[in-house]
Structure formats: C-alpha cells, structure tokens
Amino acid sequence: MTVCTPVLSDSRHDSLTLKQLQQAVSGWFIGGEIEGWSGRTLGDRRDWVRRLNAFLEARGMDFCADGLRSFVLALMKGTDGGGRKALSPASVKHAHVILNAFGNWCVREGYLTDNPVRRVAVPKQVAPDINPFTDDELVRLFAAAGRTRSKHRDMALLYFMDETGIRASELVALRVDDVRLSERQALIRCGKGGKARTITFGANTVQALFRYLREEPKEGADSLFSSSRGGPLTRFSLLQVCRRLGKAAGVEGVHPHRFRHDTAVRLLRNGGGVFSVMTLLGHSRVSTTQIYVKVADADLSKLQATASPIDNLLRSKRAKQ
C-alpha cells in the first residue's frame, strides 16, 4: 500500500500538481469510507473529481485557483469535454461545494496551506421555480392513479410522495421494514448527506399503503415500491410513472420533485411551522425551507384579496341594495 505523504514545505502552498492531486484524492476517499459516506455520496464525488482531473490533464493545468476558475467556466458553457451540455448555476454550485470540501480536507491534512477553491466564484443562484399542484390537479392525478393496472401501488405512491415530501432517491431506497403503519412513520436511513430522519404521514396514506401491501405482499427486506415489471422501483421508473399519470390526468410538468414542493407549500399553508417542515423534508438550512414560505405567503395574500369573508359579504350586501 502506497503511503500518501503531505506535499507541504515551509512556504505557502495553494496548488497541487496532477500527481499530488491524485495522491490527495486517494486519501480523501479512504477517509470518506471510514466516516461512512453513502454509496451515492462516494459515487457523486468520484465522478466530479474524475471530471476535474480529465479537464486539468487535457489542458496541462494544476489544481489551483486559475485551473479551477477555468473548470467552473467550462461547466457553465458546456465546454469541459465529452460533449456535455452547459450546467445550471445550481449544478455548478454543487460541483463547487464538493471541490471546496476536498480543498478544506487538503488543508487539514497538510497537503495545502490554503484552499484555492475559496478564491473561485460561482454563478449567481436563481431562486428555484416553485410550482405546487392546484387542488384540481391533485384530484385529477389521484383519479388517474385509480384507473391504472397498478392502481393500489400508484395511489399509495402519490399519497406517500405528496404527504411526506420524500426525495426520489430516498423513496426508491425504502424497504418494507422501514415503514411502521401503526405509528404512521417511515425511517429514511440515508438521506441527503448521509443523514437519517423519520418522516410521518396521515390516516389516508396509511390506508393506501395497507391496501397496496395487502394486494402485493412483500418481505421486510423488499423494496417498498415495485416497478410494473416486478423489480424495485428506480428513480427512472418513478419518473416514468409520474409522467404517465400526468399525461392521463392532463396535468403538465409532473415529476417526483414537484410533489416535494407541493408538500412544503401545503404544510405551510395549513399552519405547519417552518422548523417542522424543515425537519420533515430533511433540509440542512432553514433558508432552504424559507423559499417555500414566500410561495405560501404569496398564495395566502392572493387568497385574501379574492376570498376575504368580510369583503365578499359587504360586496354582496351592496349589490342587493
């Protein structure tokens, strides 16, 4: 086994050659496995490091501020290689977060005295487009689910997604043993960032899950939701189910993450506290949850403008005079 030794001298060091980068990356991933990074986290970080390494190697650049700025710009333009498309600001920020974590690790381990990623700007973030379903759209989606050949699964699936705000990756990883119907709870063993949490749901979702599991009996270690072909539901097959139901219901833009948006906004409209919603959705920062607060507040203001009980009462009274 090759021992990776720090590359520092007594002088300030804020760059790595490609050889030094490979040594440091090896140590970073070994440390990550010891810390218990999830398989998805490991895979994601390996992909980004490989992408960066290929970019720097093709241009003869080091892991330094200039090389990283060139990489970020290439990601924004879709010119980093391999015919990839330009990335959104959010995706570029995701790459920046990963590389910054690596740079900080290099400083802690003595490979660098300064993290060059900290000197690299990221594109301005645009607030995500939050587009919850209308009541009518949800009713039509539920009706469409009740007409499919897999109606028990589809009804349970839609109820579960819209009530818990679960991420697609978390949903397809759920096992039967993770769900406790009597307690109206499910355990997310490995959420975003490898964090576990418990999610809750109501009586109607319990009934939908009970009917589904009665019609399709499963063992405790089996995936909670199965594909139409009998295997575990995947993120791709989940997206296909959503698109098919959206088409059948005449509702555009149906995808798993939209149910997550809908959950957040409806909970807030119905009086749910910001921190309770934050916990249910597994947000690590309250600022993420507050994005939904703005949508919910705007909807409530719009409702008051058109459906104010007093305004409508007096308007009706005046019309009769």
CATH of the domain at 160: 1.10.443.10
Per-residue pLDDT tens digits for 147-158: 999 999 999 999
Q: With respect to residue 7, please indicate whether it lies within any of the assigned structural domains.
A: no
How high does pLDDT run on average in the chain? 85
* Number of domains the chain contains: 2
Select from 252, 142, 296 the least CA-distant residue to 205: 142
84 and 166 part of one domain? no
| pLDDT recorded at residue 206 | 94
71: containing domain: 18-119
230 and 166 part of one domain? yes
Residue 311: pLDDT band (50, 70, 90) is low
Q: Is the pLDDT of residue 190 over 50?
A: yes
60 and 35 part of one domain? yes
d(CA 169, CA 188): 10
Count Cα atoms within 13 angstroms, Cβ side, for 196. Answer: 6
3-state secondary structure of 270: coil
Structural contact between residues 241 and 256, judged by C-beta atoms closer than 8 angstroms: no
d(CA 129, CA 127): 7
Catalytic residues: 167, 192, 257, 260, 283, 292
Select from 206, 199, 204, 202 the least CA-distant residue to 277: 199
Q: With respect to residue 208, please indicate whether it lies within any of the assigned structural domains.
A: yes
Residues contacting 234, CB < 8 A, separation 6+: 172, 227
The percentage of residues in the chain with a pLDDT greater than 70, rounded to a whole number, is 85
146 and 99 part of one domain? no
pTM above 0.85, yes or no: no
101 and 167 part of one domain? no
